[in-house]
Protein backbone atom coordinates (compact mmCIF):
# COMPACT_ATOMS: atom_id res chain seq x y z
CA UNK A 1 0.00 0.00 0.00
CA UNK A 2 2.80 2.33 0.99
CA UNK A 3 4.64 1.58 -2.25
CA UNK A 4 1.53 2.27 -4.30
CA UNK A 5 1.06 5.58 -2.53
CA UNK A 6 4.67 6.55 -3.19
CA UNK A 7 4.30 5.73 -6.87
CA UNK A 8 1.04 7.70 -7.07
CA UNK A 9 2.66 10.72 -5.38
CA UNK A 10 5.63 10.55 -7.73
CA UNK A 11 3.30 10.38 -10.74
CA UNK A 12 1.22 13.30 -9.52
CA UNK A 13 4.34 15.22 -8.81
CA UNK A 14 5.59 14.54 -12.31
CA UNK A 15 2.32 15.68 -13.82
CA UNK A 16 2.26 18.80 -11.68
CA UNK A 17 5.82 19.71 -12.60
CA UNK A 18 4.96 19.14 -16.26
CA UNK A 19 1.83 21.31 -15.93
CA UNK A 20 3.77 24.15 -14.41
CA UNK A 21 6.18 24.38 -17.31
CA UNK A 22 3.61 24.23 -20.13
CA UNK A 23 2.34 27.80 -20.72
CA UNK A 24 -0.85 26.56 -22.39
CA UNK A 25 -2.03 24.92 -19.19
CA UNK A 26 -1.69 28.12 -17.18
CA UNK A 27 -4.77 30.11 -16.22
CA UNK A 28 -3.43 33.26 -17.89
CA UNK A 29 -3.07 31.66 -21.34
CA UNK A 30 -6.74 31.87 -22.37
CA UNK A 31 -7.05 35.39 -20.97
CA UNK A 32 -4.06 36.53 -23.00
CA UNK A 33 -5.57 34.97 -26.11
CA UNK A 34 -8.74 37.00 -25.55
CA UNK A 35 -6.78 40.19 -24.91
CA UNK A 36 -4.97 39.96 -28.25
CA UNK A 37 -8.00 40.97 -30.35
CA UNK A 38 -8.69 43.94 -28.06
CA UNK A 39 -5.07 45.11 -28.16
CA UNK A 40 -4.95 44.89 -31.97
CA UNK A 41 -7.34 47.84 -32.00
CA UNK A 42 -5.59 49.72 -29.22
CA UNK A 43 -4.33 53.24 -29.90
CA UNK A 44 -1.00 53.94 -28.24
CA UNK A 45 -1.54 57.68 -28.44
CA UNK A 46 -4.90 57.30 -26.66
CA UNK A 47 -3.35 54.98 -24.08
CA UNK A 48 -0.95 57.78 -23.10
CA UNK A 49 -3.83 60.23 -22.86
CA UNK A 50 -5.96 57.87 -20.80
CA UNK A 51 -3.21 57.00 -18.36
CA UNK A 52 -0.81 59.77 -17.32
CA UNK A 53 1.27 57.22 -15.41
CA UNK A 54 1.87 55.02 -18.47
CA UNK A 55 5.39 56.31 -19.09
CA UNK A 56 6.53 55.97 -15.50
CA UNK A 57 5.00 52.49 -15.23
CA UNK A 58 6.71 51.20 -18.35
CA UNK A 59 10.11 52.88 -18.19
CA UNK A 60 13.11 51.93 -16.08
CA UNK A 61 16.58 53.19 -15.16
CA UNK A 62 19.51 50.95 -14.39
CA UNK A 63 22.72 52.85 -13.55
CA UNK A 64 23.38 54.60 -16.86
CA UNK A 65 20.72 52.82 -18.93
CA UNK A 66 17.22 54.12 -19.57
CA UNK A 67 14.70 51.72 -21.08
CA UNK A 68 11.30 52.88 -22.23
CA UNK A 69 8.75 50.15 -23.01
CA UNK A 70 5.79 52.54 -23.05
CA UNK A 71 5.47 52.58 -26.87
CA UNK A 72 4.57 48.88 -26.88
CA UNK A 73 1.14 47.40 -27.55
CA UNK A 74 0.63 46.42 -23.94
CA UNK A 75 -1.60 47.85 -21.24
CA UNK A 76 -2.02 47.17 -17.53
CA UNK A 77 -4.37 44.27 -18.03
CA UNK A 78 -2.16 42.43 -20.52
CA UNK A 79 0.91 43.16 -18.43
CA UNK A 80 -0.76 41.68 -15.34
CA UNK A 81 -1.73 38.49 -17.19
CA UNK A 82 1.81 38.17 -18.54
CA UNK A 83 3.20 38.56 -15.03
CA UNK A 84 0.74 35.98 -13.75
CA UNK A 85 1.84 33.59 -16.45
CA UNK A 86 5.55 33.91 -15.79
CA UNK A 87 4.99 33.47 -12.05
CA UNK A 88 2.87 30.39 -12.66
CA UNK A 89 5.62 28.96 -14.82
CA UNK A 90 8.02 29.25 -11.91
CA UNK A 91 10.48 31.79 -13.30
CA UNK A 92 11.79 32.45 -9.81
CA UNK A 93 12.62 28.77 -9.37
CA UNK A 94 14.17 28.61 -12.85
CA UNK A 95 16.41 31.63 -12.23
CA UNK A 96 17.65 30.05 -9.01
CA UNK A 97 18.30 26.77 -10.81
CA UNK A 98 20.44 28.51 -13.43
CA UNK A 99 22.48 30.60 -11.00
CA UNK A 100 22.96 27.62 -8.67
CA UNK A 101 24.48 25.63 -11.50
CA UNK A 102 21.78 22.98 -11.80
CA UNK A 103 22.00 21.08 -15.08
CA UNK A 104 19.22 22.99 -16.80
CA UNK A 105 20.64 22.18 -20.24
CA UNK A 106 19.11 18.72 -19.93
CA UNK A 107 19.65 17.42 -23.45
CA UNK A 108 23.40 17.92 -23.04
CA UNK A 109 23.38 17.26 -19.27
CA UNK A 110 25.15 20.56 -18.57
CA UNK A 111 24.89 23.47 -16.19
CA UNK A 112 24.50 26.96 -17.67
CA UNK A 113 26.87 29.21 -15.80
CA UNK A 114 28.08 32.03 -18.03
CA UNK A 115 26.98 34.24 -15.12
CA UNK A 116 29.74 32.67 -12.99
CA UNK A 117 32.27 34.17 -15.39
CA UNK A 118 31.29 37.69 -14.37
CA UNK A 119 30.72 37.03 -10.69
CA UNK A 120 33.07 38.81 -8.33
CA UNK A 121 33.75 38.19 -4.66
CA UNK A 122 32.43 36.47 -2.64
CA UNK A 123 30.87 34.04 -5.12
CA UNK A 124 33.58 33.71 -7.75
CA UNK A 125 34.65 30.14 -8.63
CA UNK A 126 38.32 29.22 -8.20
CA UNK A 127 38.82 28.20 -11.82
CA UNK A 128 37.33 31.53 -12.95
CA UNK A 129 39.67 33.42 -10.63
CA UNK A 130 42.60 31.50 -12.02
CA UNK A 131 41.54 32.13 -15.62
CA UNK A 132 41.19 35.87 -14.97
CA UNK A 133 44.63 35.98 -13.36
CA UNK A 134 46.16 34.15 -16.35
CA UNK A 135 44.41 36.37 -18.87
CA UNK A 136 45.46 39.46 -16.95
CA UNK A 137 49.08 38.37 -16.76
CA UNK A 138 49.22 37.36 -20.41
CA UNK A 139 47.55 40.54 -21.71
CA UNK A 140 49.88 42.70 -19.61
CA UNK A 141 52.87 40.79 -20.97
CA UNK A 142 51.56 41.30 -24.51
CA UNK A 143 51.08 45.04 -23.99
CA UNK A 144 54.49 45.36 -22.34
CA UNK A 145 56.14 43.73 -25.33
CA UNK A 146 57.15 40.60 -23.43
CA UNK A 147 55.22 38.29 -25.73
CA UNK A 148 57.21 38.23 -28.94
CA UNK A 149 57.10 36.54 -32.30
CA UNK A 150 59.38 33.68 -33.33
CA UNK A 151 62.09 36.06 -34.52
CA UNK A 152 61.81 38.30 -31.47
CA UNK A 153 59.54 40.95 -33.03
CA UNK A 154 56.88 42.86 -31.10
CA UNK A 155 53.35 41.63 -31.69
CA UNK A 156 51.09 44.13 -33.46
CA UNK A 157 48.21 42.05 -34.78
CA UNK A 158 46.05 39.24 -33.48
CA UNK A 159 43.84 37.15 -35.74
CA UNK A 160 41.01 35.40 -33.91
CA UNK A 161 39.96 32.32 -35.84
CA UNK A 162 36.57 31.07 -34.64
CA UNK A 163 32.93 30.98 -35.67
CA UNK A 164 29.48 31.41 -34.09
CA UNK A 165 29.89 32.11 -30.39
CA UNK A 166 33.67 31.92 -30.74
CA UNK A 167 33.54 34.91 -33.08
CA UNK A 168 30.35 36.97 -32.90
CA UNK A 169 30.60 38.03 -29.24
CA UNK A 170 34.23 39.16 -29.16
CA UNK A 171 33.96 40.67 -32.67
CA UNK A 172 30.87 42.67 -31.66
CA UNK A 173 32.45 43.94 -28.43
CA UNK A 174 35.78 44.83 -30.09
CA UNK A 175 33.91 46.85 -32.71
CA UNK A 176 31.68 48.51 -30.10
CA UNK A 177 34.58 49.50 -27.86
CA UNK A 178 37.02 50.52 -30.56
CA UNK A 179 37.32 53.96 -28.93
CA UNK A 180 38.58 52.23 -25.75
CA UNK A 181 41.47 50.59 -27.61
CA UNK A 182 44.78 50.84 -25.81
CA UNK A 183 46.27 51.17 -29.28
CA UNK A 184 48.94 48.50 -28.98
CA UNK A 185 47.29 45.62 -30.77
CA UNK A 186 44.97 45.43 -33.74
CA UNK A 187 42.51 42.55 -33.51
CA UNK A 188 41.07 40.85 -36.60
CA UNK A 189 38.36 38.21 -36.85
CA UNK A 190 38.22 35.38 -39.36
CA UNK A 191 35.22 33.09 -39.25
CA UNK A 192 33.98 32.06 -42.69
CA UNK A 193 35.30 28.92 -44.34
CA UNK A 194 35.28 30.98 -47.53
CA UNK A 195 39.06 31.28 -48.07
CA UNK A 196 38.63 34.91 -49.10
CA UNK A 197 37.97 35.83 -45.49
CA UNK A 198 41.36 34.64 -44.25
CA UNK A 199 43.24 35.67 -47.39
CA UNK A 200 41.79 39.17 -47.27
CA UNK A 201 42.72 39.51 -43.59
CA UNK A 202 46.28 38.23 -44.01
CA UNK A 203 46.97 40.34 -47.10
CA UNK A 204 48.31 43.27 -45.08
CA UNK A 205 49.70 41.38 -42.09
CA UNK A 206 53.28 40.56 -41.30
CA UNK A 207 53.68 36.98 -39.99
CA UNK A 208 56.56 38.09 -37.76
CA UNK A 209 54.26 40.40 -35.79
CA UNK A 210 51.00 38.42 -35.93
CA UNK A 211 49.55 35.95 -33.42
CA UNK A 212 46.66 33.59 -34.06
CA UNK A 213 44.03 32.63 -31.50
CA UNK A 214 42.28 29.42 -32.50
CA UNK A 215 39.01 29.93 -30.62
CA UNK A 216 36.85 26.85 -30.53
CA UNK A 217 35.18 25.37 -27.48
CA UNK A 218 35.08 21.96 -29.15
CA UNK A 219 38.22 22.38 -31.28
CA UNK A 220 36.28 20.32 -33.79
CA UNK A 221 34.46 22.92 -35.86
CA UNK A 222 35.13 22.38 -39.56
CA UNK A 223 35.42 26.04 -40.54
CA UNK A 224 37.72 26.97 -37.68
CA UNK A 225 40.04 24.03 -38.22
CA UNK A 226 40.21 24.71 -41.95
CA UNK A 227 41.09 28.37 -41.37
CA UNK A 228 43.57 27.48 -38.61
CA UNK A 229 45.32 25.03 -40.91
CA UNK A 230 45.47 27.58 -43.72
CA UNK A 231 46.85 30.20 -41.32
CA UNK A 232 49.45 27.70 -40.15
CA UNK A 233 50.45 26.98 -43.75
CA UNK A 234 50.74 30.74 -44.43
CA UNK A 235 52.94 31.22 -41.37
CA UNK A 236 55.18 28.27 -42.26
CA UNK A 237 55.52 29.46 -45.82
CA UNK A 238 56.46 32.96 -44.67
CA UNK A 239 58.70 32.05 -41.73
CA UNK A 240 59.91 28.72 -43.04
CA UNK A 241 60.19 26.93 -39.72
CA UNK A 242 57.83 24.51 -37.96
CA UNK A 243 58.98 25.92 -34.60
CA UNK A 244 57.29 29.26 -35.40
CA UNK A 245 53.86 27.68 -34.90
CA UNK A 246 54.57 27.32 -31.18
CA UNK A 247 55.17 31.04 -30.80
CA UNK A 248 52.40 32.31 -33.04
CA UNK A 249 49.42 30.07 -32.19
CA UNK A 250 47.33 30.07 -29.02
CA UNK A 251 44.29 27.95 -28.27
CA UNK A 252 41.07 29.02 -26.58
CA UNK A 253 39.25 25.77 -25.99
CA UNK A 254 37.73 23.16 -23.72
CA UNK A 255 39.49 20.46 -25.77
CA UNK A 256 43.19 20.87 -25.01
CA UNK A 257 44.05 17.42 -26.46
CA UNK A 258 42.74 18.43 -29.90
CA UNK A 259 44.61 21.74 -29.68
CA UNK A 260 47.82 19.85 -28.90
CA UNK A 261 47.21 17.55 -31.82
CA UNK A 262 46.95 20.66 -34.01
CA UNK A 263 50.34 21.81 -32.71
CA UNK A 264 49.44 24.22 -29.90
CA UNK A 265 51.14 23.48 -26.60
CA UNK A 266 48.85 22.94 -23.57
CA UNK A 267 50.51 25.86 -21.78
CA UNK A 268 49.51 28.07 -24.73
CA UNK A 269 45.83 27.21 -24.27
CA UNK A 270 43.26 29.24 -22.35
CA UNK A 271 40.60 26.93 -20.95
CA UNK A 272 36.83 26.86 -21.42
CA UNK A 273 34.29 24.71 -19.69
CA UNK A 274 31.25 22.74 -20.76
CA UNK A 275 29.06 24.94 -18.52
CA UNK A 276 29.64 27.92 -20.83
CA UNK A 277 27.49 27.90 -23.96
CA UNK A 278 29.25 29.16 -27.11
CA UNK A 279 26.84 32.05 -27.69
CA UNK A 280 27.19 33.15 -24.05
CA UNK A 281 30.97 32.83 -23.93
CA UNK A 282 32.38 36.30 -24.54
CA UNK A 283 32.85 36.61 -20.77
CA UNK A 284 35.24 33.65 -20.77
CA UNK A 285 38.65 33.10 -22.38
CA UNK A 286 36.75 33.64 -25.66
CA UNK A 287 36.88 37.31 -24.60
CA UNK A 288 40.68 37.32 -24.75
CA UNK A 289 40.76 39.36 -28.01
CA UNK A 290 38.63 41.98 -26.22
CA UNK A 291 41.13 42.21 -23.36
CA UNK A 292 43.97 42.45 -25.91
CA UNK A 293 42.25 45.41 -27.55
CA UNK A 294 40.96 47.36 -24.55
CA UNK A 295 43.17 46.09 -21.73
CA UNK A 296 42.29 43.72 -18.93
CA UNK A 297 40.93 46.39 -16.55
CA UNK A 298 38.40 47.52 -19.15
CA UNK A 299 37.50 43.88 -19.84
CA UNK A 300 36.76 43.51 -16.12
CA UNK A 301 34.46 46.54 -16.34
CA UNK A 302 32.55 44.74 -19.08
CA UNK A 303 32.16 41.78 -16.71
CA UNK A 304 31.10 44.06 -13.87
CA UNK A 305 28.41 45.68 -16.00
CA UNK A 306 27.03 42.24 -16.79
CA UNK A 307 27.23 41.22 -13.14
CA UNK A 308 25.16 44.26 -12.14
CA UNK A 309 22.40 42.99 -14.45
CA UNK A 310 22.72 39.46 -13.04
CA UNK A 311 22.07 40.90 -9.57
CA UNK A 312 19.13 42.95 -10.85
CA UNK A 313 17.66 39.91 -12.65
CA UNK A 314 17.82 37.82 -9.48
CA UNK A 315 16.48 40.45 -7.11
CA UNK A 316 14.07 42.84 -8.84
CA UNK A 317 10.33 42.12 -8.64
CA UNK A 318 9.17 40.89 -12.01
CA UNK A 319 7.11 44.00 -12.82
CA UNK A 320 10.31 46.06 -12.52
CA UNK A 321 12.75 43.47 -13.75
CA UNK A 322 14.05 44.78 -17.07
CA UNK A 323 14.99 41.48 -18.80
CA UNK A 324 11.73 39.95 -17.56
CA UNK A 325 9.72 42.84 -19.02
CA UNK A 326 11.70 42.61 -22.27
CA UNK A 327 10.86 38.90 -22.45
CA UNK A 328 7.18 39.30 -21.57
CA UNK A 329 6.72 41.86 -24.32
CA UNK A 330 8.57 39.74 -26.87
CA UNK A 331 6.54 36.67 -25.84
CA UNK A 332 3.31 38.66 -26.16
CA UNK A 333 4.06 39.83 -29.69
CA UNK A 334 5.37 36.50 -30.93
CA UNK A 335 2.94 34.08 -29.40
CA UNK A 336 -0.28 36.10 -29.23
CA UNK A 337 0.00 39.01 -31.66
CA UNK A 338 1.45 37.17 -34.66
CA UNK A 339 4.76 39.08 -34.92
CA UNK A 340 7.32 36.96 -36.71
CA UNK A 341 10.38 39.13 -36.26
CA UNK A 342 12.05 41.73 -34.09
CA UNK A 343 14.35 44.46 -35.37
CA UNK A 344 17.43 45.64 -33.50
CA UNK A 345 18.31 49.15 -34.62
CA UNK A 346 21.31 50.70 -32.92
CA UNK A 347 21.70 54.41 -33.63
CA UNK A 348 25.42 53.98 -33.14
CA UNK A 349 27.70 52.69 -35.86
CA UNK A 350 29.91 51.04 -33.25
CA UNK A 351 27.04 48.67 -32.45
CA UNK A 352 26.71 47.54 -36.06
CA UNK A 353 27.51 43.93 -35.10
CA UNK A 354 24.86 43.81 -32.37
CA UNK A 355 22.12 42.51 -34.74
CA UNK A 356 24.18 39.54 -36.03
CA UNK A 357 25.39 38.83 -32.51
CA UNK A 358 21.80 38.74 -31.24
CA UNK A 359 20.72 36.63 -34.19
CA UNK A 360 22.80 33.76 -32.88
CA UNK A 361 22.05 34.43 -29.21
CA UNK A 362 18.30 34.56 -29.75
CA UNK A 363 17.63 32.20 -32.64
CA UNK A 364 20.10 29.44 -31.75
CA UNK A 365 18.62 29.50 -28.23
CA UNK A 366 14.90 29.70 -28.81
CA UNK A 367 14.38 28.63 -32.43
CA UNK A 368 12.95 25.31 -31.28
CA UNK A 369 9.79 23.30 -31.98
CA UNK A 370 9.88 20.70 -29.20
CA UNK A 371 9.20 21.57 -25.56
CA UNK A 372 10.98 20.49 -22.39
CA UNK A 373 8.67 17.50 -22.12
CA UNK A 374 9.63 16.27 -25.57
CA UNK A 375 6.30 17.37 -27.08
CA UNK A 376 5.80 19.31 -30.35
CA UNK A 377 5.13 22.98 -29.61
CA UNK A 378 1.84 24.27 -31.06
CA UNK A 379 2.54 28.00 -30.49
CA UNK A 380 5.04 30.36 -32.12
CA UNK A 381 8.51 30.49 -30.57
CA UNK A 382 11.59 32.63 -31.31
CA UNK A 383 11.07 35.59 -33.60
CA UNK A 384 13.49 36.17 -36.46
CA UNK A 385 15.98 38.78 -35.32
CA UNK A 386 17.27 41.23 -37.84
CA UNK A 387 18.37 44.83 -38.06
CA UNK A 388 21.05 47.32 -38.99
CA UNK A 389 22.29 50.62 -37.63
CA UNK A 390 20.23 53.75 -37.96
CA UNK A 391 20.32 56.02 -39.81
CA UNK A 392 21.38 53.60 -42.59
CA UNK A 393 18.34 51.41 -41.99
CA UNK A 394 16.06 54.40 -42.60
CA UNK A 395 17.18 54.41 -46.21
CA UNK A 396 16.77 50.67 -46.57
CA UNK A 397 14.02 48.84 -44.67
CA UNK A 398 12.16 51.57 -42.79
CA UNK A 399 9.59 51.87 -45.57
CA UNK A 400 8.32 48.46 -44.50
CA UNK A 401 8.44 49.36 -40.81
CA UNK A 402 6.26 52.43 -41.42
CA UNK A 403 3.87 51.21 -44.10
CA UNK A 404 4.38 47.46 -44.54
CA UNK A 405 1.97 44.72 -43.50
CA UNK A 406 4.17 43.09 -40.85
CA UNK A 407 4.07 43.75 -37.15
CA UNK A 408 7.75 44.36 -36.33
CA UNK A 409 8.55 45.37 -32.77
CA UNK A 410 11.79 47.39 -32.85
CA UNK A 411 14.49 48.07 -30.29
CA UNK A 412 15.99 51.52 -30.82
CA UNK A 413 19.34 51.85 -29.05
CA UNK A 414 21.48 54.98 -28.75
CA UNK A 415 24.12 56.62 -26.58
CA UNK A 416 23.57 60.07 -25.12
CA UNK A 417 27.27 60.81 -25.34
CA UNK A 418 28.65 59.64 -28.67
CA UNK A 419 32.37 59.87 -27.86
CA UNK A 420 32.84 62.27 -30.73
CA UNK A 421 33.84 65.89 -31.04
CA UNK A 422 31.40 66.28 -33.92
CA UNK A 423 28.49 67.19 -31.65
CA UNK A 424 26.39 68.48 -34.54
CA UNK A 425 26.31 65.15 -36.32
CA UNK A 426 25.76 63.26 -33.09
CA UNK A 427 22.75 65.49 -32.46
CA UNK A 428 21.47 64.63 -35.94
CA UNK A 429 21.86 60.94 -35.11
CA UNK A 430 19.95 61.36 -31.84
CA UNK A 431 17.25 63.41 -33.51
CA UNK A 432 16.58 60.49 -35.85
CA UNK A 433 16.73 58.01 -32.97
CA UNK A 434 13.93 59.96 -31.29
CA UNK A 435 11.89 60.81 -34.39
CA UNK A 436 11.59 57.32 -35.87
CA UNK A 437 9.86 55.60 -32.94
CA UNK A 438 7.65 58.66 -32.57
CA UNK A 439 6.65 58.47 -36.23
CA UNK A 440 6.04 54.74 -35.97
CA UNK A 441 3.72 55.28 -33.04
CA UNK A 442 1.76 58.42 -33.96
CA UNK A 443 1.59 57.82 -37.70
CA UNK A 444 -0.24 60.27 -39.96
CA UNK A 445 -4.00 59.87 -40.44
CA UNK A 446 -5.92 60.58 -43.65
CA UNK A 447 -7.31 63.94 -42.50
CA UNK A 448 -3.81 65.24 -41.76
CA UNK A 449 -2.61 64.03 -45.15
CA UNK A 450 -5.53 65.72 -46.95
CA UNK A 451 -4.94 68.96 -45.05
CA UNK A 452 -1.27 68.91 -45.97
CA UNK A 453 -1.96 68.29 -49.66
CA UNK A 454 -4.54 71.07 -49.74
CA UNK A 455 -2.00 73.45 -48.22
CA UNK A 456 0.44 72.40 -50.94
CA UNK A 457 -2.12 73.54 -53.53
CA UNK A 458 -3.14 70.12 -54.88
CA UNK A 459 -6.51 69.73 -56.64
CA UNK A 460 -9.26 67.49 -55.21
CA UNK A 461 -8.53 64.85 -57.87
CA UNK A 462 -4.84 64.92 -57.12
CA UNK A 463 -5.52 64.63 -53.39
CA UNK A 464 -7.85 61.68 -53.94
CA UNK A 465 -5.23 59.88 -56.01
CA UNK A 466 -2.26 60.58 -53.77
CA UNK A 467 -3.57 60.63 -50.21
CA UNK A 468 -3.83 56.86 -49.54
CA UNK A 469 -0.11 56.46 -50.22
CA UNK A 470 0.82 59.16 -47.75
CA UNK A 471 -1.11 57.75 -44.79
CA UNK A 472 0.87 56.25 -41.91
CA UNK A 473 -1.30 53.94 -39.81
CA UNK A 474 0.94 54.42 -36.76
CA UNK A 475 0.55 52.30 -33.64
CA UNK A 476 3.73 50.45 -34.55
CA UNK A 477 5.54 49.37 -31.40
CA UNK A 478 9.07 49.99 -30.23
CA UNK A 479 11.30 49.97 -27.18
CA UNK A 480 13.85 52.75 -26.69
CA UNK A 481 17.12 52.06 -24.93
CA UNK A 482 19.25 55.07 -24.11
CA UNK A 483 22.77 54.48 -22.79
CA UNK A 484 24.70 57.30 -21.11
CA UNK A 485 27.85 56.39 -22.97
CA UNK A 486 29.23 53.25 -24.65
CA UNK A 487 31.62 52.25 -21.87
CA UNK A 488 32.67 48.63 -21.28
CA UNK A 489 30.45 48.62 -18.17
CA UNK A 490 27.32 49.79 -19.98
CA UNK A 491 27.94 47.45 -22.90
CA UNK A 492 28.23 44.57 -20.42
CA UNK A 493 24.86 45.62 -18.99
CA UNK A 494 23.23 45.79 -22.40
CA UNK A 495 24.41 42.33 -23.47
CA UNK A 496 23.42 40.73 -20.17
CA UNK A 497 19.92 42.22 -20.45
CA UNK A 498 19.44 40.46 -23.77
CA UNK A 499 20.91 37.22 -22.39
CA UNK A 500 18.41 37.12 -19.54
CA UNK A 501 15.59 38.10 -21.88
CA UNK A 502 16.48 34.99 -23.91
CA UNK A 503 16.54 32.82 -20.78
CA UNK A 504 13.15 34.12 -19.60
CA UNK A 505 11.64 33.51 -23.03
CA UNK A 506 12.89 29.93 -22.83
CA UNK A 507 10.91 29.51 -19.60
CA UNK A 508 7.82 31.13 -21.13
CA UNK A 509 7.98 28.88 -24.18
CA UNK A 510 9.02 25.80 -22.18
CA UNK A 511 12.12 25.43 -24.32
CA UNK A 512 15.61 24.12 -23.66
CA UNK A 513 17.37 27.36 -24.62
CA UNK A 514 20.94 26.18 -24.19
CA UNK A 515 21.30 23.37 -26.72
CA UNK A 516 21.47 23.72 -30.52
CA UNK A 517 20.70 20.37 -32.12
CA UNK A 518 19.33 22.16 -35.16
CA UNK A 519 22.81 22.97 -36.45
CA UNK A 520 23.89 19.32 -36.64
CA UNK A 521 22.15 17.89 -39.70
CA UNK A 522 23.48 20.40 -42.22
CA UNK A 523 27.00 20.04 -40.81
CA UNK A 524 26.84 16.26 -41.23
CA UNK A 525 25.54 16.42 -44.77
CA UNK A 526 28.32 18.86 -45.67
CA UNK A 527 30.85 16.11 -44.84
CA UNK A 528 29.23 13.87 -47.45
CA UNK A 529 28.95 16.61 -50.07
CA UNK A 530 32.56 17.66 -49.46
CA UNK A 531 33.68 14.09 -50.03
CA UNK A 532 31.68 14.00 -53.25
CA UNK A 533 33.07 17.33 -54.47
CA UNK A 534 36.62 16.31 -53.66
CA UNK A 535 36.30 12.89 -55.27
CA UNK A 536 34.25 14.29 -58.16
CA UNK A 537 31.82 11.43 -57.65
CA UNK A 538 28.21 11.49 -56.52
CA UNK A 539 26.60 9.14 -54.03
CA UNK A 540 23.18 7.95 -55.14
CA UNK A 541 21.05 9.03 -52.16
CA UNK A 542 20.40 12.70 -52.99
CA UNK A 543 17.15 14.23 -54.13
CA UNK A 544 17.08 15.35 -57.81
CA UNK A 545 17.56 19.04 -56.95
CA UNK A 546 20.63 18.45 -54.75
CA UNK A 547 22.02 16.01 -57.28
CA UNK A 548 21.70 18.55 -60.10
CA UNK A 549 23.51 21.22 -58.07
CA UNK A 550 26.32 18.82 -57.21
CA UNK A 551 26.64 17.82 -60.84
CA UNK A 552 26.99 21.48 -61.83
CA UNK A 553 29.76 21.96 -59.28
CA UNK A 554 31.76 18.88 -60.12
CA UNK A 555 31.35 19.53 -63.81
CA UNK A 556 29.14 16.60 -64.87
CA UNK A 557 26.68 19.08 -66.35
Which of 223/348 has CB closer to ligand F6P?
Answer: 223
d(CA 100, CA 52): 41
Site string for ligand F6P, 488-517 (x = CB under 6 A): ----------------------------x-
Please indicate whether residue 454 is annotated as part of the active site: no
Q: What is the smallest separation between the CB atom of 168 and ligand F6P, expressed in angstroms?
A: 8
Which of 145/518 has CB closer to ligand F6P?
Answer: 518
Q: What is the smallest separation between the CB atom of 361 and ligand F6P, expressed in angstroms?
A: 10
Site for ligand F6P, residues 277 to 296, rule: CB under 6 A: 278-279
- Using the rule CB under 6 A, which residue among 26, 166, 191, 394 binds ligand F6P? 166
Which of 55/519 has CB closer to ligand F6P?
Answer: 519
Q: What is the smallest separation between the CB atom of 384 and ligand F6P, expressed in angstroms?
A: 17
Q: Report which DSSP code applies to 361.
A: I
d(CA 70, CA 56): 8
Beta bridge partners of 60: 67
- The reply to whether omega before 122 is within 30° of 0 (cis) is yes
Q: What is the smallest separation between the CB atom of 523 and ligand F6P, expressed in angstroms?
A: 8
The yes or no reply on residue 115 touching ligand F6P (CB under 6 A) is no
Which of 21/221 has CB closer to ligand F6P?
Answer: 221
Instruction: Give the strand pairing for 269-271 and 410-417.
Output: unpaired
The yes or no reply on residue 456 touching ligand F6P (CB under 6 A) is no
Q: CB–CB of 13/46 below 8 Å?
A: no
The yes or no reply on residue 95 touching ligand F6P (CB under 6 A) is no
> CB neighbours of 353 closer than 8 A, spacing ≥ 6?
168, 171, 172, 175, 176
Beta bridge partners of 212: 159, 249
- The reply to whether omega before 391 is within 30° of 0 (cis) is yes
Q: What is the smallest separation between the CB atom of 278 and ligand F6P, expressed in angstroms?
A: 3
H or E stretch including 489? Answer: helix 488-509
Q: Counting runs of H as helices and runs of E as strands, what totals does the chain give? A: 24, 11
Find the residue with minimal CB distance to ligand F6P. 278
Which of 216/436 has CB closer to ligand F6P?
Answer: 216
Site string for ligand F6P, 195-234 (x = CB under 6 A): ---------------------xxx--x--x----------
Which of 455/521 has CB closer to ligand F6P?
Answer: 521
The yes or no reply on residue 164 touching ligand F6P (CB under 6 A) is yes
Q: What is the smallest separation between the CB atom of 215 and ligand F6P, expressed in angstroms?
A: 7
Residues 4, 121, 204, 395: which is the catalytic one? 395
Q: CB–CB of 394/432 below 8 Å?
A: yes
d(CA 349, CA 414): 10
Please indicate whether residue 364 is annotated as part of the active site: yes
Which of 135/259 has CB closer to ligand F6P?
Answer: 259
Instruction: Give the strand pairing for 59-62 and 65-68.
Output: antiparallel
Residues 94, 208, 364, 499: which is the catalytic one? 364
Stretch that binds ligand F6P, among 96-104, 160-168, 190-198, 405-413 (CB under 6 A): 160-168
Site string for ligand F6P, 356-385 (x = CB under 6 A): --------x---------------------
Residues 106, 523, 535, 552: which is the catalytic one? 523
Q: Report which DSSP code applies to 153.
A: P
Question: Which candidate, 221, 218, 207, places its Cα nearest to that of 159?
Answer: 207
Give the torsion sign (CA, 373, 379, 385, 391).
negative
Give the torsion sign (CA, 348, 352, 356, 361).
negative
Give the phi and the psi of residue 191 in degrees, each rounded to 5. Answer: -130, -40
Q: What order do you get walking across the sheet with 59-62 strand by strand?
A: 59-62, 65-68, 478-485, 410-417, 341-347, 384-386
Stretch that binds ligand F6P, among 161-169, 196-204, 445-453, 454-462 (CB under 6 A): 161-169
The yes or no reply on residue 519 touching ligand F6P (CB under 6 A) is yes
Please indicate whether residue 175 is annotated as part of the active site: no
Which of 112/415 has CB closer to ligand F6P?
Answer: 112
Taking each helix axis from N to C end, the angle separating 76-88 and 488-509, rounded to the nearest 10 degrees, works out to 70
* Helix-strand-coil split of the chain, %, nearest 5: 60, 10, 30
3-state secondary structure of 124: coil
Stretch that binds ligand F6P, among 40-48, 158-166, 188-196, 449-457 (CB under 6 A): 158-166
The yes or no reply on residue 394 touching ligand F6P (CB under 6 A) is no
The yes or no reply on residue 308 touching ligand F6P (CB under 6 A) is no
In terms of residues, how long is the chain?
557
The residues that touch ligand F6P, with contacts defined as CB under 6 A, are 163-166, 216-218, 221, 224, 278-279, 364, 516, 519
Which residues are identified as catalytic? 364, 395, 523
Amino acid sequence: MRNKLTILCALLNGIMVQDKSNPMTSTAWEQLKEQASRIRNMSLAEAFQADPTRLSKFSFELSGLYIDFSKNLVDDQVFQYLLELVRELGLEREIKAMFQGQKINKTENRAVLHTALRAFEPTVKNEVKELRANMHEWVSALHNGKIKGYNGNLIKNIVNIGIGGSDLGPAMVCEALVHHSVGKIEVHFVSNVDPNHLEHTLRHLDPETTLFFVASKSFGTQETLANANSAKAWLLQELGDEGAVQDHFYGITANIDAAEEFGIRADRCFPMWDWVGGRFSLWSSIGLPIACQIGFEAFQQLLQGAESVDLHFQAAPFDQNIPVVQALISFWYTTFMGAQSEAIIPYDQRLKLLPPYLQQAVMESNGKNVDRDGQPIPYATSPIVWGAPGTNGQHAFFQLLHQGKHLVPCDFIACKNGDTSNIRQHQMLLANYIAQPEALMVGKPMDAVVRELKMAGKSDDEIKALAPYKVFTGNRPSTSILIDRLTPYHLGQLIALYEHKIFTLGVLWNIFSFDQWGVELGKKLAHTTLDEIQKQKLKANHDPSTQALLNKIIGNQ
